[in-house]
Structure 1
C-alpha cells in the first residue's frame, strides 16, 4: 500500500523524505515552547503567550507575500532561504534569556516559516500529476505526523525543566533538521523553479490575489476551510485541552495520551484512507470531515458530563475524541491541498497555496481567543454546541461547493492526460 502511494518521480520522494526529517525536529520542540519560556527562561505566562501569539501574527501577515514571491521567482528561491532562516531562528531559541530576545527570535522564525508550507506544496504539485496528488499530499501528512510523533517521544525522554541544557539541545537538534530538506532541495537543481513565465512579470497579467479571490469555487473552499478549522484544528491547542482539564477534570497526562492517540490514528490509517477516497467526490469527503469532527466534539462533551463522577470514563472519552478527530484529519489532509491545486493555475499556484495555508493562520487566531470565554460559560456546554454546530455548517458549505466543480476537479473523474506542471528555469 505504501509503495502504491509513493509519487512516480524520485525527486518527489526525496522531498517527502525531507518532510519526515524536518518533522522529527519539529516534534522535538512542538509541545514545549510555552514551558521553556516560562519554567526555564523565567517569562511570565502573559508574556510567553504574547510571544507565541506574535509568532502567529507575523507568519499570517507575511504569508501573502510568500505566495507572490513563489509565483514570481519560483518556490526554490523562496523555500531555500526560508529554511535557512528557520534553522537559524530555531537554534537561537537556545540563547533566549529575556522577553526582548524571545520576541526577536520568534520574529526570525516566523519570517522563515511564512512561506515554507505553501512553497513545499507548490513544489510537490510541480512534481506530481493530477491523478496522484491526492495520494502524495496524504502521504506527506502521514510522514509529517510520524516525524512529530518520533520527535515528541524522543524529547519527552530528554527534557528536564531543572536542566536548561536539555531544552537548548532539542532546539539545536531542531535547527539541524531544518537543514535536511534544504540540502535535499539543493541536490535537485532542476526542482522548484518558476512554473510559468507569466508569473514572473510582476503578476501584472495574472491579477494576483484579486484573481484568486474572484475564483468562485476556491472562494467557497476558503470559506469552508475557515469555518472547519476555526471549529476544528484551532480548538485543539486551547479548547480541547481546557475542556478536558477543567470540565472533564482529567489530568494533563491524559491529554498527552490523547494527542498520542491522535498521532497513532493518523499514521496507521492515512494510507488506508487514501485508497478508500481515491476516485470519490472530494466535496463529499470534505463534508464527511465536518461530520467526523462534530462527532469527536460530541464525545468530548459527553466526557465532560460524566467526568466528575467517573474519571476512567472521562479519560477514555478524551482519548477517543482525539482518535476520532485524527480519523477526520486523514480525509482532510489529502483532499484539501489536492483540490486547491486542481483549481490553481500555474501562474498563481503559489498564491493559491499561500491562501490555503492562511486559513490555518486566521483560524489559529480566532479559535484560541474565543475558546476561553465559551468554555467558561455554562460548564463548557456552549463551547461544545458552537464547535459541533460549526463543523456541521462546514459540511453544508462543502456540499454546496460540488455544483461549482467539474468532475475532474471533484475527483470523480480521472484527469484525461498527465498534466504535471513543467517548470521553467528562467
Structure 2
C-alpha cells in the first residue's frame, strides 16, 4: 500500500474501533442507565437508522462535487458531536438529537472512505484494499467491543460517558488522519475528481442496468445475513432451538473469528475467479448455514448438537462475508462512471441501510414465532443470491467480472457508461 492508502485504512480501522465501544450498549444505556425507558431506546435506535437513510441520498453527489475528503471531515465532526451528545444525554430530546447526528455522520463515512480507496487504487489492487478495510473494521469493532465491555458499568453513567468520549476521540483522529492524506492521481480513474455540471445523478444510475441489478443483489445479501444477526436469527435460536443467551455471544465470536482467520486465506481464491461466481458460491454457503440453523431449531438432536449447529451457522456466515468483502465493494466502484464514484458508493450504502432496517422488522417476528417458515424463507433468499449473481454476470465486461484478466492498468472499467449513455453516444 502507498502512504495514502495506509492512512485511509488506519483511519477506517480507528473509527470502527470507536464504534465498537458503544454500539453493543446503546440500547442498555438509553433504556436503563439514563432511565429513559425501552420505548425511548427503540425510538433512539430508529432515529439512528433513519438519519442514515435521510443523508445517504445526498452524500454521493456531495462526494462527487466536493471530493471525499471534505465530506469525510464534516461527517467525522458530526459523528464526534453526536457521540459526546449521547454521552451527556439525560433527556429524551437530547438523546434523539445526539442519535440523529451520530447516525448521519457514521452513515456518510463509509461511502466517503470507499471513494478514497477507489481514488488510491487500481482495479487489480482494489480487491485487496477493500478486503483489508473489511478485515481491519471487523477487528476494530471486535477489539473496541471487548475493551468497552471491561470499562462499562450499568450503575455508573460516567463509565458510559467515557465510552462515548473515546468514540468521539476516534472520529476526531479519523478527521486528523484524513487531513494528512494527499490523494494520488489515479492512473485508472484520472477523471474521478469533483465534476461541475457534468451529467449524472440518480437518473443515470437507474439507467445503468448492471448497477441496478447489483443493488437488488446487495439488498438480498444484506437482508439475508446482516439483517438477521441480532434480530430474527437470535430470536429463532433462543425460542426454537433453546439456545442459551450466552451462546449467542459465542456464535458472534465464531463469526468474527472466521472472518479474521479466513479473510486473507480466501483472497487468492477470490482474486482468480469471476466475482459473480464467488457471490453465487456465497449464496450456496449461506443456504447450508440456514439448513444448519434449521437443524438446530427443528431437529431432534441433543442440546449440545443444536448449539453446535447454531454456532456453525454464524461461522458459515463469516466465511461468506470474507468472500464478499473483496468482491462486492470493488465491483460497485468498477461499475461507476468516472464522475459518479461517490454517487454509486452512497447508493449501495443506502441499499445496505434499507436492508438492515427491513431485515429485523421482518425476521424478528418470524424468527420468534414462525420457525419453519422463517428457515424456509431465508433458504430461498440464499438461493436467490446465487440466481441473481449468475444473472448479473451477463451484464459485466470480462475485466469488471475478473480484474485479474487485465495484464496492465486498464481504462476499460473507468470508461464504462450506463446503457442509455452508451446508446446515445
Normalising by structure 1, we get a TM-score of 0.92
Does structure 2 conserve the Cα–Cα contact (< 8 Å) formed by 1:123 and 1:191? Answer: no
Deviations 1:138-193 (A, max 9, x none): 11101111111111111121212112222111111111111222111111244699
Q: Does 1:22 align with 2:15?
A: yes
Corresponding residue number in structure 2 for 1:131: 124
Give the 3 Å change call, closer, same or farther, for CA 363–104 of structure 1 in structure 2: same
The equivalences for 1:4-403 within 5 A come to: 7=1, 9-190=2-183, 196=191, 199-202=194-197, 205-306=198-299, 310-378=302-370, 380-403=371-394
Does structure 1 conserve the Cα–Cα contact (< 8 Å) formed by 2:240 and 2:368? Answer: no
Does structure 2 conserve the Cα–Cα contact (< 8 Å) formed by 1:185 and 1:191? Answer: no
Q: How much does 1:207 deviate?
A: 2.7
1-structure distance, mates of 2:87, 2:335: 42
Does structure 2 conserve the Cα–Cα contact (< 8 Å) formed by 1:199 and 1:348? Answer: no
Deviations 1:196-249 (A, max 9, x none): 4885324xx323111111111111111111122112211112111111122212
Does structure 1 conserve the Cα–Cα contact (< 8 Å) formed by 2:56 and 2:107? Answer: yes
Q: How much does 1:314 deviate?
A: 2.3
2-structure distance, mates of 1:25, 1:197: 30
Question: Which stretch of the first structure deviates more once superposed, 159-168 or 60-69?
Answer: 159-168
Does structure 2 conserve the Cα–Cα contact (< 8 Å) formed by 1:19 and 1:140? Answer: yes
Give the 3 Å change call, closer, same or farther, for CA 191–38 of structure 1 in structure 2: farther
Does structure 1 conserve the Cα–Cα contact (< 8 Å) formed by 2:232 and 2:365? Answer: no
2-structure distance, mates of 1:33, 1:301: 31
Q: How much does 1:418 deviate?
A: 2.6
Does structure 2 conserve the Cα–Cα contact (< 8 Å) formed by 1:340 and 1:356? Answer: yes
Does structure 1 conserve the Cα–Cα contact (< 8 Å) formed by 2:119 and 2:192? Answer: no
1-structure distance, mates of 2:185, 2:31: 40
1-structure distance, mates of 2:326, 2:60: 20
Does structure 2 conserve the Cα–Cα contact (< 8 Å) formed by 1:407 and 1:413? Answer: no
Deviations 1:310-364 (A, max 9, x none): 3322222221111110000001111001111111112000000011111111111
Does structure 1 conserve the Cα–Cα contact (< 8 Å) formed by 2:11 and 2:177? Answer: yes
2-structure distance, mates of 1:404, 1:326: 28
Give the 3 Å change call, closer, same or farther, for CA 325–192 of structure 1 in structure 2: farther
3-state SS of paired residue (2:266): helix
Question: Which stretch of the first structure deviates more once superposed, 10-19 or 118-127?
Answer: 10-19
Structure 2 gaps, min length 5? 415-425
Structure 1 gaps, min length 5? 1-6
3-state SS of paired residue (2:35): coil
Question: Which stretch of the first structure deviates more once superposed, 245-254 or 186-195?
Answer: 186-195
Corresponding residue number in structure 1 for 2:419: none
Does structure 1 conserve the Cα–Cα contact (< 8 Å) formed by 2:18 and 2:168? Answer: yes
Normalising by structure 2, we get a TM-score of 0.92
Question: Which stretch of the first structure deviates more once superposed, 262-271 or 313-322?
Answer: 313-322
Q: CA RMSD in A?
A: 2.1
2-structure distance, mates of 1:252, 1:353: 36
Question: Which stretch of the first structure deviates more once superposed, 411-420 or 30-39?
Answer: 411-420
Does structure 2 conserve the Cα–Cα contact (< 8 Å) formed by 1:74 and 1:195? Answer: no
3-state SS of paired residue (2:12): helix
Deviations 1:342-393 (A, max 9, x none): 1111200000001111111111121111113322444x11111111111111
3-state SS of paired residue (1:303): helix
